[in-house]
Structure 1
């Protein structure tokens, strides 16, 4: 178990930054937490899962995408495809054996992309307000045109003082990585959690995702008074129960 951030355990392409992560050793499959957009591995849900994993003797990995948190790189240089590749690097280089991916918001999109790329490694998925394809439905037509014309878009950030920045590179990679256009060839168990008071990702997106997933083992839990983060004590307890349910 690491007590401080570490770099990826195998060399990365020279063009890609090195990644910081915390690995808790224990029984597999390894639970891997995938943060949301502009988030890092120090979030409430990641830390709550880590505490539970340590107490339960379960393997758990949390990490920062390139340009986020303690990882190397500049945030605005990254794209969705880069962060997908960061997740794959963690699966390939930092852990062994099967993994359960837990993706929050944009991390839920990356979770799907990683499962499609590594079907032999991914044992189950748990999405928390997953936001696949949000470069499509999450921006107005005017915002899309602005990003293309000016290269970046700033929005007020409801979760912090600094604005949230979206770049042309990120947006274009997202458009090239959309998965909600037809059946999604994922066959492992999938659990989705979504608050019905989520102002950022409409909960109907999870309903549609559940329909498109090829696997028959899909369950969607709606939290009627839940917000986007689902970080209250009761929400965290629900998340832990859900992860426990998909573990062997």
Structure 2
């Protein structure tokens, strides 16, 4: 199989379009610096065994997206605990997107894992959320039962976004500290800051020590992903200590992986991970 390296062009996006409008207000937790993280938590209806499910959204996306809501329906149908949340500057959480960093958003994810979920979790991460899921597995291996990484984008600001910027955009970013990036899914641009890129280096996972996680890992990626190159994703298994890592390549699959077949595949892999942790 030949991987096609699709670059981050000026309009390429890790953001998922919003699919669901939910009327009821989410719950929130406060961070030590006074920010609020919005979340939705579905307790397990009874003492059913096995792990809960935690979903980590992608970059500039939120918990109203189609994967997040589809997993809610799956959890209701199968009687599973399920938690989803918004990072600061995303969705219903406080803060401005332009102030966010990978470290901030990881702290949000860790707070939800520690303070909202109960017991071990299968962590499902989409795009940037796959990076967050891997960081959670490193920080709390005892709480992460398994990982499902969908079109995962670890290390993306430094390794994917920055190199693909046109020279004039990169020069403006270093000069001004921010680039207002066109969005594929909204009329307004959104800011990419130099701080985001520089701070992200502290959280790289594809360099240096292996991720000391030994649970099952499932990776799903499309060979037509226009945002995260296949070659980038194929480097992930070698960065994880686990002996149970399976990578599934979806022929013709794009970065969103949001067709009905994609969503059914996601559910099937969640079921596989639950069974693998039994």
Any residues of structure 2 matched to 1:44-193 within 5 Å, and which?
Answer: 44-138=66-160, 139-140=162-163, 142=167, 143-182=169-208, 183-193=210-220
For residue 95 of structure 1, report the CA deviation from its aligned partner: 1.4
Report what 2:261 is aligned to: 234
- CA shift digits 1:203-230 (9 cap, x unpaired): 2222110122111100001001111010
Instruction: Extract unaligned runs of 5+ from structure 2.
Output: 1-23
For residue 115 of structure 1, report the CA deviation from its aligned partner: 1.0
Instruction: Describe the SS at the equivalent of 1:20.
Output: strand
For residue 145 of structure 1, report the CA deviation from its aligned partner: 4.8
Residues 158 and 198 in structure 2, CA contact (< 8 A), matched pair in contact too: no
Residues 205 and 239 in structure 2, CA contact (< 8 A), matched pair in contact too: no
For residue 60 of structure 1, report the CA deviation from its aligned partner: 0.5
For residue 146 of structure 1, report the CA deviation from its aligned partner: 3.6
- CA shift digits 1:63-87 (9 cap, x unpaired): 1111110111111111110000000
Q: Give the direction of change, closer, same or farther, for the CA distance of 1:4–1:54 in structure 2 (3 Å limit).
A: farther
Report what 1:19 is aligned to: 37
Residues 226 and 255 in structure 2, CA contact (< 8 A), matched pair in contact too: yes
Return the TM-score normalized by structure 2. 0.83
Compare 171-180 and 153-162 and name the one that shifted more: 153-162
Residues 51 and 120 in structure 2, CA contact (< 8 A), matched pair in contact too: yes
For residue 12 of structure 1, report the CA deviation from its aligned partner: 2.4
Name which structure has the greater RCO, CA cutoff 8 Å, separation 6+.
2
Instruction: Describe the SS at the equivalent of 2:175.
Output: helix
For residue 168 of structure 1, report the CA deviation from its aligned partner: 2.0
Question: Separation in 2 of the partners of 1:84 and 1:163?
Answer: 24
Report the number of matched residues.
244
Instruction: Describe the SS at the equivalent of 2:236.
Output: helix
For residue 148 of structure 1, report the CA deviation from its aligned partner: 3.2
Which of the numbers 1, 20, 25 marks the counterpart of 1:4?
25
Report what 2:247 is aligned to: 220
For residue 132 of structure 1, report the CA deviation from its aligned partner: 0.4
- CA RMSD of superposed structures (Å): 1.7
Q: Give the direction of change, closer, same or farther, for the CA distance of 1:58–1:164 in structure 2 (3 Å limit).
A: same
- CA shift digits 1:181-215 (9 cap, x unpaired): 13322211110000111000012222110122111
Instruction: Extract unaligned runs of 5+ from structure 1.
Output: none
1:196 partnered with 2:223: yes
